Amino acid sequence: MLKLTGIVIGVVMSLVIVELATVRHAPVRPGRMISECDGALAEVVIQYVSDADAVLPVYREFLRQLPTDVTVHVMCPAQADYEELCTAIGETRCVLRSVLVGHEMTSWSRDRWIATASDDPNDPIMLAAPRSEAGASSWPARAGDEKLAFDLANSTNGAVVARRSDLFFDGGDLLADRDNVFVVAHALRKNLQRTVESRDELIAMLNRMTGKRVILLDESPEHHAGMFMMAAGERTMVVGDPSLAHEIWPRVMTELPGGPDFSDATQRRFDAVASQCRREGYRVVRIPTVPSTDGKTYLTYVNVITDHRTASAHIVYLPVYRGAEPLNEAAAQVWRDLGYEVRPIDCTSTYRFFGNLHCLVNVLRRT
C-alpha cells in the first residue's frame, strides 16, 4: 500500500511539474522589435557596477531629465552597487527599480538583448539574447552579461520573457524604426558558416526574430549601428558624415586616440549607408560625426535616445562633448530642424570607452 501511495504521489507531482513547465514555457505571441523613434518612453534598462565612474555623469544628466511616468530598471550585482548609483545620481522624477542579479556584469546595456512587443499591451515583452557574449569564456563580467536578459525577465513576474537566439549579434547591431530593422554589415560575418549558410538565411532568421522587414547593410562602418545612423521617424534616417565634421574640426579642442579619421575609405562607408537608406525610400539627413583612426572611438551625434511624448512633442537626448562646442551646436541644429527639442547629455566621460548614451540605455517599452 505504501509503495502504491508513493507511486500515485509521484504521478501527481509529475503532472504538476509538467503543468508548471507548460505554463512557464507557454507560447508568446509574435512581436515586433521596438522602434527607436515611435512612441513615448515608458521603461528603460541600465546597468551599473561599483566604481564604474565613467558612466555616472551620463546617467546623472539623463535620469534627472526623464519624466515621472518612466520606469528605469537598474541592473546591479548587489544592493551596494545600486545604493552607490542612487547616491551619485541624486533625486530623480522618474521611478528607479533595482534588479539585483548576484553575479558579475558590465555597465553597457544596449548590446545584451533586443526587445519585441506584440500589438496587445497586455502581452509580455520578449527579449532575444544573443547566442553568446564575445569574450565570455575568459571574462567573468561578460559571462555575467549573458544572463542579464533572463535575470530581468525573472524579476518582472511575467511582464517580460526571455529566450536565447541561435544567432551571434550585439543588440547594437540592429536598429529599428516602425517598419524596418537595419542590420550592420559585419553581422553577416559573425554568422556566416557558423549559424547560417547564406545572406538570405540570415535575413530570414532576423526577420523571424524581429518581426519586421530586415535591411542588411551592404557596407557600413565597423561599429554598432547607433554610432553612425539613427531613425528619426516618418521614414527619416539621420546618418553620420565625417566630411561635415572635417570643416569644423579646426575649432574643436577634444582629442581622439590617434586623431580623427577623415580618410576617403572611411567617408565611403558612411556614404554607403546613406545611399542604401535612400534606395529603401528614406529621407536621409546628414550630421557631423568624427570617427577616430582606431575605428572604435567616435564623437557621434546619433547615439541618442528619442522620446516622442505626443505627435508634436519630440525630445532627443543628445550626446555632447566638452571642447567640441562647435560640433555640438552644429549637430543640435540638425535635430532641431527635424522638430526635436534637444536635451544635451555630456558624454565626455564615456566616448573613450567606445560608447555613449544609446550604448548605455536599452529601451524596454514605449507607449
Per residue in 4-18, pLDDT tens?
A: 344 333 433 443 333
For the residues of 71-135, what is the DSSP string, one character each? EEEEEESSHHHHHHHHHHH---SSEEEEEE-SS---S--GGG-EEEE-SSTTSPEEEEE-S--TT
Q: What is the mean pLDDT of residues 110-133?
A: 96
Q: What is the pLDDT of residues 306-345, one digit of tens each?
A: 999 998 899 999 999 999 999 999 999 999 999 999 999 9
State the residue for C-alpha cell 528619426. Answer: 232
Q: Where are the beta strands (DSSP E) in 296-361?
A: 298-299, 305-308, 314-320, 340-346
Q: Tell me, what's the pLDDT at 140?
A: 96
User: Please, is 164 exposed, middle or buried when counting C-beta atoms within 10 Å of its C-beta (0-12, 13-18, 19+)?
Assistant: middle
The whole-chain average pLDDT of the chain stands at 93
Q: Angle CA(33)–CA(38)–CA(42) in degrees, nearest 5? A: 85
Please give the DSSP secondary-structure letter assigned to residue 50.
T
Domains, the chain, in order of start with CATH, read 29-366 (3.75.10.10)
Question: pTM value?
Answer: 0.91
Distance CA 63, CA 361 (A): 11
Integer Cα distance of 208 and 173 in angstroms: 16
Within 8 A by CB and 6+ apart from 189, the residues are: none
Q: What's the pLDDT score for residue 181?
A: 98
pLDDT tens-digit series, residues 210-252: 999 999 999 999 999 999 999 999 999 999 999 999 999 999 9
Three cell numbers written together for 38? 515611435
Please state, as a whole number, how many other Cβ atoms lie within 10 Å of the Cβ of residue 45. Answer: 27
With a cut of 80, say whether residue 27 has pLDDT above it.
no
Q: How many CB atoms lie within 10 A of CB 78?
A: 15
pLDDT at 288 over 60: yes
Taking a C-beta distance cutoff of 8 angstroms, is the pair 254, 299 a contact?
yes
Q: What is the pLDDT of residues 60-93, one digit of tens each?
A: 999 999 999 999 999 999 999 999 999 999 999 9
User: Inter-axis angle of helices 56-65 and 79-89, to 10 degrees?
Assistant: 70
In whole angstroms, give the CA distance from residue 36 to residue 237: 11
As a whole number of angstroms, the distance between CA 175 and CA 280 comes to 15
Exposure class string for 101-129: b at 16+ Cβ within 10 A, else e: bebebbbbbbbbbbbbbbeeeeebbbbbb
Section 148-161 average pLDDT? 98
Task: Please give the residue that has the higher pLDDT: either 19 or 303.
Answer: 303
The whole-number pLDDT of residue 285 equals 98
Q: Give the pLDDT band (50/70/90) at residue 193.
A: very high
Distance CA 99, CA 180 (A): 31
Average pLDDT over residues 185-202: 98
